Amino acid sequence: MLIIMHVNSTEEQIERVKQKIQKLTLTPHVIPGRLRCAIGITGNSGPISPDHFKNLPGVVQCLPVTKPYKLISREVRQEDTVIDLDSVRIGGKEIVIIAGPCSVENEIQIFTIAEKLAKMGVKLLRGGAYKPRTSPYSFQGLGEKGLKLLASVRDKTGIKIVSEAIDSESLDMVAEYVDIVQIGARNMYNYSLLKKVGQLNKPVLLKRGLSATLEEFLMAAEYIVCQGNFQVILCERGIRTFSDYSRNTLDMNVVPTIKQISHLPIIVDPSHASGDRKTVLPLARGAIAVGADGVIVEVHHEPENALSDGAQSLYPMQFKQLLIQLNQIASIMNRECSLQR
């Protein structure tokens, strides 16, 4: 159930509706918007009667929410969610570019890459410190040392940082250092971890699970949002299909579909979708053309020596090409991409 309040309803009126919801042992979620204020209700097992609310002052309408995902849906909030990180806004008019190596490997590596990217105008640096690797014998990341290196890159360059938490313990550590917490594809179904990031006051980049349906993906976002954290950025990173010529199959269709269903921003990761730097650029172009709010791309100054995902990492010069081309596509899409210098 969604309660629509008058645009200029008072705080007391909103408070009264919230109290009524709590009295019914349900949970209210106030969702302010430019055009209207809505109050979502969760915790009910069956339909809720509008009679409880329809005569309360300030209430305009009581709408049933028909989908299993509620707080993330456009039914509940019509305007796009824009996540504001001071130097960059995600989900607004600007296309956001997150770039950097798969893993933070050492001080020279991360500073070399970050400085090249910052010079090109990149405002968000990615780099894994905790790596969920398929093989237990592969490089597992530098842990806190990697986060400290990212933080010192931010101090020096002003670039904001994105890094993955792989479990509850690493989340405490990652959240201390980063500007955006990444939840990787393998953890999209980790509901206790999702609940925990839902309690943070920090943006979360949620990647689609390897075989997640659209509904499972959106319900994972709902897990985070219903804990109170509305700052969720969805990320399509390719899914498992019978198609075996690329690392994963990029589901482009999901981008415009999610834009219709949800108010959350959605970006695309062409690197993990492709697995091969030769096809990263065309996939990135496609992502912006289908309406994604940005891309997250792996870049390495020496991909042949990378400790993870070297084959899909772009050389800095290739990345520069990507920026130039995404700028052109952004303008066709009536969006901005204030990069390349």
Binding residues for ligand PEP, rule: CB under 6 A, are: 102, 128, 132, 184-186, 207, 237, 269, 272
The residues binding Mn ion (CB under 5 A) are: 102, 309
Binding at 265: pick from ligand PEP, Mn ion, none (beta carbon under 5-8 Å per type): none
Residue 1 CA neighbour count, 13 Å, CB half: 24
Burial class (CB in 10 A: 0-12, 13-18, 19+), 75: buried
Q: CA-to-CA distance for 74 and 112, rounded, in angstroms?
A: 42
Binding at 303: pick from ligand PEP, Mn ion, none (beta carbon under 5-8 Å per type): none
Binding at 335: pick from Mn ion, ligand PEP, none (beta carbon under 5-8 Å per type): none
In the bound state with ligand PEP, the residue whose beta carbon lies nearer, of 275 and 286, is 275
In the bound state with ligand PEP, the residue whose beta carbon lies nearer, of 28 and 100, is 100
Minimum distance, C-beta of residue 186 to ligand PEP, in the bound complex (Å): 6
In the bound state with Mn ion, the residue whose beta carbon lies nearer, of 52 and 126, is 126
Binding at 286: pick from Mn ion, ligand PEP, none (beta carbon under 5-8 Å per type): none
In the bound state with ligand PEP, the residue whose beta carbon lies nearer, of 290 and 297, is 297
Minimum distance, C-beta of residue 313 to Mn ion, in the bound complex (Å): 8
E strands of the chain, at which residues? 2-5, 27-32, 37-42, 59-63, 83-84, 89-90, 96-100, 124-126, 160-164, 180-183, 204-207, 232-236, 266-268, 294-298
What letter would DSSP give residue 311?
A: G
For β-strands 160-164 and 124-126, DSSP reports them as parallel
Helix (H, G, I), strand (E, B) or coil at 73: strand
Residue nearest to ligand PEP (CB): 184
Burial class (CB in 10 A: 0-12, 13-18, 19+), 246: middle
What letter would DSSP give residue 80?
A: P
Minimum distance, C-beta of residue 235 to ligand PEP, in the bound complex (Å): 7
In the bound state with ligand PEP, the residue whose beta carbon lies nearer, of 150 and 185, is 185
In the bound state with ligand PEP, the residue whose beta carbon lies nearer, of 29 and 126, is 126
Residue nearest to Mn ion (CB): 102
Binding at 237: pick from Mn ion, ligand PEP, none (beta carbon under 5-8 Å per type): ligand PEP
Q: CA-to-CA distance for 337 and 231, rounded, in angstroms?
A: 21
What tokens appear for 145 in the block? 């040392």
